[in-house]
Amino acid sequence: MNDSTHTVRPAEGYAGDITPQLAHEWVESGQAVLVDVRTDAEREWVGFVPGAVALAWKQWPGMAMNPNFDSGVLGLPADKKVVMLCRSGVRSIAAAKRATELGAQAYNILEGFEGDPDAQGHRMTRGGWQVLGLPWRQN
C-alpha cells in the first residue's frame, strides 16, 4: 500500500516513524511487538493497549530514567520489529533511538496514544491510537 498510513518515514537514529494504523497491523500480523513507554500512572489512569509490553522510558514522579529500560529491550524477541508508543510520539523517539543502539529494529509511533493537541490544547481529539479506534482499555 502506498497511502500515508502505510509508509515508513525515514528518521535519524532509529528505523523510522510509522502511523498507529501501521503499528497495529504489524503487531496483529506478528511482525512486531508493541512497547508502551509511558509511565505506569499514564497507563493506569489514561488507558493501555492490551498485549503491549509495559516498559516505561521515564518513571513518575520526577520523570527519572527507568534503570530497567535497557534490560527490558534486550528481553524482547530479537526477530521482531519493536514499535514504541508514548503519549504524543516524543518520548517514544528517544526510546526508539536507545532500543536501536541496543540492537533492536525500533520504530516510533507518530501521534502516540493520545494524539496531537487541538486548538484548545486538548489531546484525545486529533489522531493517536485512542482516537483512531485501535484496541485499548481502561481500568
Identity (one letter) of the amino acid at 81? Answer: K
Three cell numbers written together for 112 = 502516540
| Cis amide linkage into residue 61, ω under 30° from 0 | yes
Q: What is the pLDDT of residue 9?
A: 95
Residue 1 lies in a domain: no
Residue 81 lies in a domain: yes
CATH number at residue 92: 3.40.250.10
Q: What is the pLDDT of residue 1?
A: 45
Residue-wise pLDDT tens digits, 100-139? 999 999 999 999 999 777 787 766 777 789 889 899 998 8
pLDDT exceeding 70 applies to what percent of the chain? Answer: 95
87 in Cβ contact with 98 (< 8 Å): no
Q: What is the pLDDT of residue 127?
A: 79
The angle formed by the CA atoms of residues 121, 124 and 128, to the nearest 5 degrees, is 115
Residue 137 lies in a domain: no
- Counted domains in the chain: 1
Residue 2 lies in a domain: no
Residue 3 lies in a domain: no
**pTM > 0.85: yes or no:** yes
- β-sheet bridge partners, residue 95: none
Domain that holds residue 66: 17-131
Tens-digit pLDDT profile for the chain (139 aa)? 457 778 999 999 999 999 999 999 999 999 999 999 999 999 999 999 999 999 999 987 888 899 999 999 999 999 999 999 999 888 999 999 999 999 999 999 999 999 777 787 766 777 789 889 899 998 8
Residue 23 lies in a domain: yes
64 in Cβ contact with 58 (< 8 Å): yes
Residue 62 lies in a domain: yes
Residue 138 lies in a domain: no
